[in-house]
Amino acid sequence: AKEKGRNRYQFYSSTITSKAFLLIKLENWLHQAIKKNEFTLHYQPQVNILTGEITGVEALLRWYHSEMGQVPPTQLITLAEQTDLIIPVSQWVLRTACLQHVAWLKAGLKDFPITVNLSPRQFQQPNLVSMIKKTLEETGLDPHYLEIEITETSIIHDEKFAAQAFHELRSLGVSISLDDFGTGYSSLSYLQKFPFHTLKIDQTFVQALQNLPQDTAILSAMIMLGRSFNLRVVAEGVETLQQLEILEKLNCKEVQGFLFSRPLKTEDATQLLLQHCIR
Ligand code: C2E
Ligand code: CA
Ligand code: CA
Ligand code: CA
Protein backbone atom coordinates (compact mmCIF):
# COMPACT_ATOMS: atom_id res chain seq x y z
CA ALA A 1 0.00 0.00 0.00
CA LYS A 2 2.86 2.28 0.90
CA GLU A 3 4.46 1.60 -2.44
CA LYS A 4 1.25 2.39 -4.25
CA GLY A 5 0.94 5.63 -2.36
CA ARG A 6 4.39 6.69 -3.36
CA ASN A 7 3.72 5.90 -6.98
CA ARG A 8 0.57 7.89 -6.94
CA TYR A 9 2.42 10.77 -5.41
CA GLN A 10 5.03 10.61 -8.15
CA PHE A 11 2.33 10.50 -10.75
CA TYR A 12 0.66 13.65 -9.44
CA SER A 13 3.91 15.39 -8.89
CA SER A 14 5.12 14.86 -12.43
CA THR A 15 1.76 15.98 -13.85
CA ILE A 16 1.94 19.14 -11.82
CA THR A 17 5.50 19.74 -12.89
CA SER A 18 4.73 19.33 -16.55
CA LYS A 19 1.69 21.56 -16.20
CA ALA A 20 3.77 24.22 -14.52
CA PHE A 21 6.40 23.75 -17.16
CA LEU A 22 3.87 24.19 -19.94
CA LEU A 23 2.53 27.28 -18.24
CA ILE A 24 6.00 28.78 -18.05
CA LYS A 25 6.57 28.02 -21.71
CA LEU A 26 3.27 29.59 -22.67
CA GLU A 27 3.96 32.57 -20.47
CA ASN A 28 7.22 33.04 -22.32
CA TRP A 29 5.51 32.83 -25.66
CA LEU A 30 2.93 35.32 -24.52
CA HIS A 31 5.65 37.73 -23.39
CA GLN A 32 7.29 37.36 -26.79
CA ALA A 33 3.96 37.86 -28.52
CA ILE A 34 3.53 41.20 -26.83
CA LYS A 35 7.07 42.21 -27.73
CA LYS A 36 6.96 40.90 -31.27
CA ASN A 37 3.53 42.30 -31.94
CA GLU A 38 1.94 38.97 -32.80
CA PHE A 39 -1.54 40.02 -31.80
CA THR A 40 -4.11 41.47 -34.10
CA LEU A 41 -7.68 42.57 -33.71
CA HIS A 42 -10.50 41.49 -35.94
CA TYR A 43 -13.66 43.53 -36.14
CA GLN A 44 -17.23 42.32 -36.46
CA PRO A 45 -20.07 44.71 -37.32
CA GLN A 46 -23.42 44.93 -35.58
CA VAL A 47 -26.28 45.60 -37.95
CA ASN A 48 -29.72 47.16 -37.72
CA ILE A 49 -32.12 44.50 -39.02
CA LEU A 50 -34.57 46.92 -40.61
CA THR A 51 -32.22 49.38 -42.28
CA GLY A 52 -29.15 47.20 -42.79
CA GLU A 53 -27.05 49.98 -41.31
CA ILE A 54 -24.00 49.17 -39.24
CA THR A 55 -24.56 50.29 -35.66
CA GLY A 56 -21.34 49.21 -33.97
CA VAL A 57 -18.20 47.11 -34.27
CA GLU A 58 -16.80 44.61 -31.81
CA ALA A 59 -13.04 44.20 -31.55
CA LEU A 60 -11.95 40.57 -31.15
CA LEU A 61 -8.45 39.45 -30.27
CA ARG A 62 -6.43 37.14 -32.51
CA TRP A 63 -3.06 35.55 -31.85
CA TYR A 64 -1.12 33.67 -34.46
CA HIS A 65 1.87 31.82 -33.02
CA SER A 66 4.50 30.34 -35.32
CA GLU A 67 4.47 26.95 -33.56
CA MET A 68 0.93 26.74 -32.25
CA GLY A 69 -0.84 28.42 -35.14
CA GLN A 70 -4.00 30.37 -34.45
CA VAL A 71 -4.71 30.29 -30.71
CA PRO A 72 -8.45 30.45 -29.89
CA PRO A 73 -9.19 33.70 -28.04
CA THR A 74 -10.97 32.00 -25.15
CA GLN A 75 -7.85 29.89 -24.50
CA LEU A 76 -5.60 32.88 -24.91
CA ILE A 77 -7.63 34.91 -22.42
CA THR A 78 -7.72 32.05 -19.91
CA LEU A 79 -3.97 31.66 -20.21
CA ALA A 80 -3.37 35.37 -19.91
CA GLU A 81 -5.56 35.50 -16.81
CA GLN A 82 -3.53 32.71 -15.18
CA THR A 83 -0.23 34.40 -15.82
CA ASP A 84 -1.10 38.03 -15.07
CA LEU A 85 -0.30 38.89 -18.66
CA ILE A 86 -3.96 39.74 -19.01
CA ILE A 87 -3.09 43.29 -18.02
CA PRO A 88 -0.64 44.11 -20.83
CA VAL A 89 -2.66 42.08 -23.35
CA SER A 90 -5.85 43.93 -22.47
CA GLN A 91 -4.10 47.25 -22.56
CA TRP A 92 -2.84 46.44 -26.01
CA VAL A 93 -6.39 45.51 -27.11
CA LEU A 94 -7.95 48.67 -25.75
CA ARG A 95 -5.28 50.93 -27.15
CA THR A 96 -5.33 49.32 -30.59
CA ALA A 97 -9.12 49.41 -30.81
CA CYS A 98 -9.24 53.07 -29.76
CA LEU A 99 -6.53 54.05 -32.25
CA GLN A 100 -8.33 52.19 -35.03
CA HIS A 101 -11.62 53.86 -34.26
CA VAL A 102 -9.98 57.29 -34.24
CA ALA A 103 -8.58 56.51 -37.69
CA TRP A 104 -11.99 55.40 -38.95
CA LEU A 105 -13.70 58.48 -37.56
CA LYS A 106 -11.05 60.66 -39.19
CA ALA A 107 -11.78 58.93 -42.48
CA GLY A 108 -15.40 60.04 -42.17
CA LEU A 109 -17.03 57.09 -40.51
CA LYS A 110 -20.53 57.59 -39.10
CA ASP A 111 -21.21 57.85 -35.40
CA PHE A 112 -21.17 54.46 -33.83
CA PRO A 113 -19.29 52.86 -31.00
CA ILE A 114 -16.40 50.45 -30.92
CA THR A 115 -16.88 47.64 -28.45
CA VAL A 116 -14.01 46.16 -26.46
CA ASN A 117 -14.27 43.04 -24.29
CA LEU A 118 -13.00 43.16 -20.73
CA SER A 119 -12.06 39.96 -18.94
CA PRO A 120 -13.26 39.40 -15.36
CA ARG A 121 -9.73 39.76 -14.01
CA GLN A 122 -9.24 43.01 -15.81
CA PHE A 123 -12.53 44.32 -14.53
CA GLN A 124 -11.29 43.72 -10.98
CA GLN A 125 -8.16 45.83 -11.39
CA PRO A 126 -8.27 48.77 -8.97
CA ASN A 127 -6.85 51.11 -11.61
CA LEU A 128 -9.25 49.97 -14.33
CA VAL A 129 -11.03 53.27 -14.77
CA SER A 130 -7.87 55.38 -14.70
CA MET A 131 -6.27 53.02 -17.23
CA ILE A 132 -9.25 53.42 -19.57
CA LYS A 133 -9.29 57.18 -19.06
CA LYS A 134 -5.58 57.44 -19.81
CA THR A 135 -5.92 55.30 -22.95
CA LEU A 136 -8.79 57.47 -24.19
CA GLU A 137 -6.74 60.60 -23.61
CA GLU A 138 -3.62 59.19 -25.26
CA THR A 139 -5.43 57.87 -28.31
CA GLY A 140 -7.71 60.86 -28.61
CA LEU A 141 -10.90 58.80 -28.78
CA ASP A 142 -14.00 60.59 -27.53
CA PRO A 143 -15.24 58.40 -24.61
CA HIS A 144 -18.75 58.35 -26.09
CA TYR A 145 -17.44 56.12 -28.85
CA LEU A 146 -16.23 53.46 -26.47
CA GLU A 147 -18.41 50.65 -25.24
CA ILE A 148 -16.96 48.02 -22.95
CA GLU A 149 -18.37 44.56 -22.87
CA ILE A 150 -18.43 42.50 -19.70
CA THR A 151 -20.03 39.26 -18.64
CA GLU A 152 -21.76 38.87 -15.33
CA THR A 153 -18.81 36.86 -14.02
CA SER A 154 -17.02 40.20 -13.86
CA ILE A 155 -19.64 41.59 -11.54
CA ILE A 156 -20.28 38.59 -9.27
CA HIS A 157 -16.82 38.80 -7.72
CA ASP A 158 -17.40 42.17 -6.09
CA GLU A 159 -20.66 43.95 -6.74
CA LYS A 160 -19.63 47.02 -4.77
CA PHE A 161 -16.48 47.46 -6.78
CA ALA A 162 -18.45 46.90 -9.98
CA ALA A 163 -21.02 49.51 -9.02
CA GLN A 164 -18.27 52.05 -8.40
CA ALA A 165 -16.50 51.23 -11.67
CA PHE A 166 -19.80 51.49 -13.57
CA HIS A 167 -20.49 54.85 -12.05
CA GLU A 168 -17.05 56.20 -12.93
CA LEU A 169 -17.12 54.82 -16.47
CA ARG A 170 -20.55 56.28 -17.10
CA SER A 171 -19.45 59.67 -15.88
CA LEU A 172 -16.51 59.49 -18.29
CA GLY A 173 -19.04 58.86 -21.05
CA VAL A 174 -18.14 55.23 -21.67
CA SER A 175 -21.05 52.80 -22.15
CA ILE A 176 -21.28 49.30 -20.79
CA SER A 177 -22.66 46.26 -22.50
CA LEU A 178 -23.73 43.04 -20.78
CA ASP A 179 -22.30 40.20 -22.85
CA ASP A 180 -23.58 36.61 -23.10
CA PHE A 181 -26.90 37.57 -21.55
CA GLY A 182 -28.94 34.59 -20.38
CA THR A 183 -26.04 32.25 -19.68
CA GLY A 184 -25.38 33.22 -16.06
CA TYR A 185 -27.35 33.13 -12.88
CA SER A 186 -27.82 36.72 -11.88
CA SER A 187 -28.53 38.56 -15.10
CA LEU A 188 -32.01 39.59 -14.08
CA SER A 189 -31.04 41.30 -10.88
CA TYR A 190 -28.05 42.91 -12.58
CA LEU A 191 -30.32 44.56 -15.11
CA GLN A 192 -31.94 46.36 -12.26
CA LYS A 193 -28.79 47.13 -10.31
CA PHE A 194 -26.43 48.31 -13.03
CA PRO A 195 -26.83 50.97 -15.69
CA PHE A 196 -26.15 48.97 -18.84
CA HIS A 197 -26.48 50.54 -22.23
CA THR A 198 -26.56 47.36 -24.31
CA LEU A 199 -27.70 43.81 -23.79
CA LYS A 200 -26.15 41.10 -25.90
CA ILE A 201 -28.26 37.98 -26.12
CA ASP A 202 -25.98 34.97 -26.11
CA GLN A 203 -25.64 33.09 -29.36
CA THR A 204 -26.80 29.79 -27.84
CA PHE A 205 -30.36 31.14 -27.71
CA VAL A 206 -30.24 32.22 -31.34
CA GLN A 207 -28.70 28.99 -32.53
CA ALA A 208 -31.21 26.87 -30.59
CA LEU A 209 -34.06 28.31 -32.68
CA GLN A 210 -35.88 25.44 -34.35
CA ASN A 211 -39.20 27.14 -34.84
CA LEU A 212 -40.67 25.52 -31.76
CA PRO A 213 -42.83 27.87 -29.71
CA GLN A 214 -40.73 27.32 -26.58
CA ASP A 215 -37.50 28.39 -28.38
CA THR A 216 -38.94 31.71 -29.35
CA ALA A 217 -40.59 32.15 -25.94
CA ILE A 218 -37.24 32.55 -24.16
CA LEU A 219 -35.78 34.82 -26.82
CA SER A 220 -38.91 36.88 -26.93
CA ALA A 221 -38.88 37.35 -23.16
CA MET A 222 -35.22 38.39 -23.19
CA ILE A 223 -35.76 40.89 -25.98
CA MET A 224 -38.80 42.41 -24.26
CA LEU A 225 -36.94 42.58 -20.99
CA GLY A 226 -34.05 44.46 -22.56
CA ARG A 227 -36.37 46.83 -24.32
CA SER A 228 -38.38 47.49 -21.19
CA PHE A 229 -35.14 48.64 -19.55
CA ASN A 230 -34.58 50.87 -22.58
CA LEU A 231 -31.46 48.99 -23.59
CA ARG A 232 -30.04 48.48 -27.00
CA VAL A 233 -30.58 44.75 -27.60
CA VAL A 234 -28.17 42.89 -29.88
CA ALA A 235 -28.68 39.23 -30.76
CA GLU A 236 -25.39 37.40 -31.26
CA GLY A 237 -24.46 34.52 -33.50
CA VAL A 238 -27.02 35.05 -36.25
CA GLU A 239 -26.06 32.67 -39.04
CA THR A 240 -29.21 32.03 -41.06
CA LEU A 241 -31.99 34.00 -42.69
CA GLN A 242 -34.49 31.94 -40.74
CA GLN A 243 -32.95 33.08 -37.46
CA LEU A 244 -32.98 36.64 -38.69
CA GLU A 245 -36.65 36.49 -39.62
CA ILE A 246 -37.63 35.12 -36.24
CA LEU A 247 -35.61 37.82 -34.47
CA GLU A 248 -37.25 40.48 -36.57
CA LYS A 249 -40.70 39.16 -35.66
CA LEU A 250 -39.69 39.22 -32.01
CA ASN A 251 -38.89 42.91 -32.33
CA CYS A 252 -35.14 42.59 -31.99
CA LYS A 253 -33.53 45.57 -33.70
CA GLU A 254 -29.88 44.66 -33.95
CA VAL A 255 -27.88 41.56 -34.74
CA GLN A 256 -24.31 40.40 -35.00
CA GLY A 257 -23.26 37.22 -36.74
CA PHE A 258 -21.75 35.35 -39.65
CA LEU A 259 -24.88 35.98 -41.76
CA PHE A 260 -23.79 39.61 -42.15
CA SER A 261 -20.09 39.32 -41.58
CA ARG A 262 -17.47 37.27 -39.87
CA PRO A 263 -14.98 39.18 -37.75
CA LEU A 264 -12.75 40.88 -40.34
CA LYS A 265 -9.10 41.78 -40.33
CA THR A 266 -8.39 45.49 -40.22
CA GLU A 267 -8.05 46.11 -43.94
CA ASP A 268 -11.26 44.25 -44.75
CA ALA A 269 -13.16 45.91 -41.91
CA THR A 270 -11.95 49.30 -43.10
CA GLN A 271 -13.09 48.58 -46.62
CA LEU A 272 -16.53 47.43 -45.44
CA LEU A 273 -17.03 50.37 -43.11
CA LEU A 274 -15.83 52.99 -45.54
CA GLN A 275 -18.08 51.58 -48.25
CA HIS A 276 -21.22 51.55 -46.13
CA CYS A 277 -20.86 53.98 -43.28
CA ILE A 278 -19.57 57.32 -44.47
CA ARG A 279 -21.22 60.40 -42.95
P1 C2E B 1 -17.73 37.00 -27.26
O2 C2E B 1 -17.33 38.29 -26.66
O3 C2E B 1 -19.07 36.47 -26.91
O4 C2E B 1 -17.55 37.20 -28.82
C5 C2E B 1 -18.38 36.64 -29.80
C6 C2E B 1 -17.76 35.38 -30.38
O7 C2E B 1 -18.70 34.78 -31.28
C8 C2E B 1 -16.52 35.66 -31.23
O9 C2E B 1 -15.68 34.53 -31.09
C10 C2E B 1 -17.09 35.70 -32.64
O11 C2E B 1 -16.13 35.40 -33.64
C12 C2E B 1 -18.13 34.64 -32.55
N13 C2E B 1 -19.21 34.81 -33.52
C14 C2E B 1 -19.68 35.94 -34.07
N15 C2E B 1 -20.72 35.71 -34.90
C16 C2E B 1 -20.90 34.38 -34.91
C17 C2E B 1 -21.82 33.48 -35.58
O18 C2E B 1 -22.69 33.89 -36.38
N19 C2E B 1 -21.70 32.16 -35.32
C20 C2E B 1 -20.77 31.67 -34.46
N21 C2E B 1 -20.73 30.35 -34.27
N22 C2E B 1 -19.88 32.47 -33.80
C23 C2E B 1 -19.96 33.79 -34.03
P24 C2E B 1 -14.11 34.69 -30.83
O25 C2E B 1 -13.58 35.85 -31.60
O26 C2E B 1 -13.52 33.35 -31.02
O27 C2E B 1 -14.04 35.09 -29.31
C28 C2E B 1 -14.45 34.20 -28.31
C29 C2E B 1 -14.48 34.87 -26.97
O30 C2E B 1 -13.18 35.25 -26.56
C31 C2E B 1 -15.29 36.16 -26.96
O32 C2E B 1 -16.67 35.85 -26.88
C33 C2E B 1 -14.73 36.83 -25.73
O34 C2E B 1 -15.32 36.29 -24.57
C35 C2E B 1 -13.27 36.42 -25.78
N36 C2E B 1 -12.49 37.51 -26.38
C37 C2E B 1 -12.23 37.77 -27.68
N38 C2E B 1 -11.46 38.87 -27.82
C39 C2E B 1 -11.25 39.34 -26.56
C40 C2E B 1 -10.52 40.45 -26.01
O41 C2E B 1 -9.94 41.29 -26.71
N42 C2E B 1 -10.53 40.58 -24.65
C43 C2E B 1 -11.20 39.71 -23.83
N44 C2E B 1 -11.16 39.90 -22.51
N45 C2E B 1 -11.89 38.66 -24.31
C46 C2E B 1 -11.91 38.47 -25.66
CA1 CA C 1 -18.20 40.20 -26.56
CA1 CA D 1 -21.08 37.22 -26.43
CA1 CA E 1 -18.73 34.61 -24.90
Condensed to tens digits (0 to 9), the pLDDT of residues 36-64 reads: 889 999 999 999 999 999 999 999 999 98
How far, in Å, from the CA of 201 to the mean position of ligand 1?
Answer: 13
Q: Mean of the pLDDT values across residues 76-95?
A: 91
Q: How many CB atoms lie within 10 A of CB 206?
A: 24
How far, in Å, from the CA of 138 to the mean position of ligand 4?
Answer: 29
Q: Mean of the pLDDT values across residues 148-155?
A: 92
**214: number of CA atoms within 13 Å, CB side?**
0
Atom of ligand 1 nearest to the CA of 86: 44
Residue 270: per-residue pLDDT:
96
Q: Mean of the pLDDT values across residues 210-220?
A: 83
Closest CA to 41 of 59, 58, 56: 59
Separation CA 252–CA 236 (nearest Å): 11
Ligand 1 within 6 A of CB of 109? no
Provide, rounded to the nearest whole percent, the portion of the chain with pLDDT above 70. Answer: 94
Residue 1: per-residue pLDDT:
46
CA 111, 116, 117, 121 torsion-angle sign: negative
Atom of ligand 1 nearest to the CA of 149: 2
* ipTM (interface predicted TM): 0.98
In contact, 259 and 45? CB cutoff 8 Å: no
